[in-house]
Amino acid sequence: MPKLCVRCFALSIDGFGAGPNQDLANPLGVGGMGLHGWVLPTRTFMRMHGDVNADGTTGVDDDFARRGFEGIGASILGRNMFGPVRGAWPDDSWKGWWGDNPPYHTPVFVLTHHARPSLVMAGGTTFHFVTEGIQVALQRAREAAGEKDVRLGGGVATVRQYLNAGLVDELHLVFSPVILGSGEPLIAGIDLLRLGFRCTEHVSTPNAIHLVLTKNGG
């Protein structure tokens, strides 16, 4: 059965998935970009973000980055992950952080309290804005994905909602050698054991520790 997967989700050593004081200049919070030092130099990241001829680094980090999008038929994002606009959409000018050709190349379902028409982008990405909550977003994403998996892209609050609802089947967490001190914690207060997760893979590299947690029976 297709899964709901969290992949390549970077955390600080102290468990934060974003730093404090998020704004337009610091979309991941102060210090948050440091969480992604493991993926930025990889060949997969460079090629997904426009440099199709980039050499980039290969190896374990690149393998996990590539696996992050394999077998994915749709994605789910929280509104904060899509952009910094709050409240009612003033217009349709904001089209995400990623330019005209976002890296998803699938339907993406954005959780929001404010309706907005679907947004068709280059490269196969279409953003659909869902106002009916996490269950409806997941249902629509699964319908769009067919036999493929759905990737839960974040941010932190969105992943926590799906975890607390018992809907996540697999978690790939990447612990970066960064201490943020404060920000948005991902798994604090969530009993992963009670939810049925076990560690099925763990690999260390000079830049990160990769942990894959799989729900029992998954």
pTM score > 0.75 for this model?
yes
**Omega of the bond leading into 155 within 30 degrees of 0 (cis):** yes
d(CA 179, CA 34): 9
pLDDT tens sequence for the chain (218 residues): 899 999 999 999 999 999 998 887 888 889 999 999 999 999 999 988 777 777 899 999 999 999 999 999 999 999 989 988 889 999 999 999 889 999 999 999 999 999 999 999 999 999 999 999 999 999 999 999 999 999 999 899 999 999 999 999 999 999 999 999 999 999 999 999 999 999 999 999 999 999 999 998 65
For the record, the structure tokens of 185 come out as 């914690």
Domain ranges of the chain: 4-18+27-84+101-215
Q: Which residues pair with 120 in a beta bridge?
A: 126
Fold of 4-18+27-84+101-215: Dihydrofolate Reductase, subunit A (3.40.430)
For the record, the structure tokens of 73 come out as 């038929």
